[in-house]
A and B are shown apart, each in its own frame.
Chain A
Amino acid sequence: MLITILFYTFAAVLVGAALGVVLSRNTVHSALFLVLAFFTSAALWLLLEAEFLGIVLVLVYVGAVMVLFLFVVMMLDINVAQLREGLTRYAPLGALVALMVIVQIVYVTWVRRLGLTADMAFPSAEPLRGTQGSNTEALGALLYDDYVLPFQLAAVVLLVAIVAAIVLTMRSRPGLKQQDVAKQVAVRKEDRVRLVKLPAEKGP
Chain B
Amino acid sequence: MEKIYLAILLAPLFASIVAGLFGKWVGRAGAHTVTILGVAVSFALSVYVFNHHVLQGQPAFDGAVYTWLETDGLTLEIGFLVDQLTVLMMLVVTFVSLMVHVYTIGYMHDDDGYQRFFSYISLFTFSMLLLVMSNNFLQLFVGWELVGLVSYLLIGFWYKRPTAIFANMKAFLVNRVGDFGFILGIAGVYYFTDSLRYSDAFAAAPAIADVYFHLFSTNTTENALTIICVGLFIGAMGKSAQVPLHVWLPDSMEGPTPISALIHAATMVTAGIFMVARMSPMFEYSETTLTFILVIGATTALFMGFLGLVNNDIKRVVAYSTLSQLGYMTVALGASAYAAGVFHLMTHAFFKALLFLAAGSVIIAMHHEQDMRRMGGLRKYLPITYWTCLIGALALIGFPGFSGFFSKDGLIEAVAESTIPGAGYALFAVMAGVFVTALYTFRMVFMTFHGKERMDEHTREHLHESPWVVTLPLVLLAIPSIFIGWFTIGPVLFGDYFRDVIFVLPQHDVLAKLGEQWHGPAAFVLHGVQAPVFWLAAAGVATAWFLYLKRPDIPDAIQARTRGLNRLLENKYYFDWFNENYLAAGARAFGRIFWKGGDRMLIDGALVDGSARVVGWLAGVIRHVQSGYLYHYAFAMIIGLAALLAYLLVRT
Contacts and interface: CB of A to CB of B under 8 A. Distances in A.
The answer to whether A and B touch directly, with their CB atoms under 8 angstroms apart, is yes
Interface of A: 86, 90, 93-94, 97, 100-101, 104, 107-108, 115
A148 to B, nearest CB: 33
Given A86-B629, A90-B631, A97 B638 contact: yes
B639 interface: yes
Given A104-B649, A107-B649, A97 B631 contact: no
Contacts of B642: 97, 100-101, 104
Contacts of B631: 86, 90
Contacts of A107: 649
B553 to A, nearest CB: 99
A98 to B, nearest CB: 8
A32 B538 CA distance: 120
B400 to A, nearest CB: 92
A103 to B, nearest CB: 9
B639 A104 contact: no
B645 A101 contact: yes
A90 B641 CA distance: 18
A108 B638 contact: no
Given A93-B635, A104-B646, A104-B649, 15 more contacts: A86-B629, A86-B631, A90-B631, A90-B635, A94-B635, A97-B635, A97-B638, A100-B642, A100-B646, A101-B641, A101-B642, A101-B645, A107-B649, A108-B649, A115-B652
20 contacts: A86-B629, A86-B631, A90-B631, A90-B635, A93-B635, A94-B635, A97-B635, A97-B638, A97-B642, A100-B642, A101-B638, A101-B641, A101-B642, A101-B645, A104-B642, A104-B645, A104-B646, A107-B649, A108-B649, A115-B652
A184 B645 CA distance: 66
Nearest to A94: B635
A97 B649 contact: no
Nearest to A100: B642
Nearest to B630: A86
A93 B638 CA distance: 11
Please give me the 9 A-B residue pairs with the lowest Cβ-Cβ distance, nearest first.
A104-B645, A100-B642, A86-B631, A101-B642, A97-B642, A97-B638, A97-B639, A104-B649, A107-B649
B627 to A, nearest CB: 11
Interface in B78-101: none
Task: Say what secondary structure dominates the interface of chain B.
Answer: helix
Contacts, number: 23
Interface string B601-630: 000000000000000000000000000010
Interface residues on B, range: 10 to 19
Contacts of B641: 101
A41 B223 CA distance: 86
Contacts of A90: 631, 635
Nearest to A104: B645
Contacts of A101: 638, 641-642, 645
A119 B645 CA distance: 25
Contacts of A97: 635, 638-639, 642
B641 to A, nearest CB: 7
Most chain A CB within 10 A, of B635, B642, B649, B652, is at B642
A115 B649 CA distance: 12
A133 to B, nearest CB: 40
B625 to A, nearest CB: 14
Contacts of B639: 97
A113 to B, nearest CB: 13
B584 to A, nearest CB: 65
A51 B646 CA distance: 37
Interface string B380-424: 000000000000000000000000000000000000000000000
Interface string B632-652: 000100110110011001001
Contacts of A93: 635
Contacts of B646: 100, 104
Nearest to A101: B642
Interface in B544-559: none
Contacts of A108: 649
Nearest to B645: A104
A97 B638 CA distance: 8
B34 to A, nearest CB: 53
A201 B178 CA distance: 111
A185 B160 CA distance: 82
Contacts of A86: 629, 631
Contacts of A104: 642, 645-646, 649
A80 to B, nearest CB: 15
Nearest to B643: A100
B628 to A, nearest CB: 13
Contacts of B652: 115
A108 B649 CA distance: 8
Contacts of B645: 101, 104
A97 B629 CA distance: 18
A100 B643 CA distance: 9
A97 B637 CA distance: 11
A57 B81 CA distance: 78
Nearest to A107: B649
A115 B652 CA distance: 10
A22 to B, nearest CB: 14
Nearest to B639: A97
A100 B642 CA distance: 7
A68 to B, nearest CB: 24
A76 B21 CA distance: 64
A107 B652 CA distance: 12
A85 B199 CA distance: 78
A90 B645 CA distance: 22
Contacts of B649: 104, 107-108
